[in-house]
Amino acid sequence: MKNKVIMILLICFLSSCKSSKSISTDDVLGELGANPHFIIDEQPNLRSDLIDYDPEDITTVTILHSEKAIKRYGEVAKDGAVIIETKAYSTEKYQKRFSEISYSYASALSAAGNDEDFIYVVNGILIEGDYLVSDLSSLTDKLIKSISILPLNEANVYCIDENKTVVAINVKKKWAKDEDRSWKKIE
């Protein structure tokens, strides 16, 4: 009974995560073994720990099967791996990465205390809504060309509120989001 409850929670997580791919309950249950390895915010967790998380606080859920799971996590993941990132963790991850890349971003973030009043623009496209945290956290050092804070006269193109900080991120032109919202190399 407890396993069924945990799997129902997992399905709730998967269905609440923002994704353009439709995932059926049968697909998830069929591809995972009886004891998948759970990783939440890069830390191994017990299945029962899923109960402590609200699906609305989850940014991404990645499922690895068989050989891929074993290659990454060892025999403990022989029944698959479920990798979960929370919004708080993903936000911390991209803020740290961006701060390491851009002194101006680090300074603006430090002065503001958080990025609640930041507007993010990637290659001239405003990033907002449900995908904001997952899109930003998925930007790797390999993809990012530059990060800068736009001066107010340029920032007005993206917002009316002068109290917003506009963060312009340029990624390498050969990379773009595809239909499943993953960054892919374009030839």
Buried b or exposed e, range 97-129, using 16+ CB within 10 angstroms: bbbebbeebbebbeeeeebeebbbbbeeeebee
* Summary mean pLDDT of the chain: 79
Is residue 80's pLDDT more than 50? Answer: yes
d(CA 174, CA 133): 22
pLDDT given at position 33:
82
CA proximity to 126, closest of 150, 100, 99, 103: 150
Most confident of 113-127, 128-142, 147-161: 113-127
Predicted confidence at residue 135, as pLDDT, reads: 84
Report pTM.
0.74
- The fraction of the chain above a pLDDT of 90, given in percent, is 33
Domain ranges of the chain: 2-86, 102-185
Q: What pLDDT, in 10s, does the model give residues 30-45?
A: 578 888 999 999 999 9
Residue 109 CA to residue 52 CA, distance in Å, equals 29
Most confident residue range from 8-17, 85-94, 128-137:
85-94
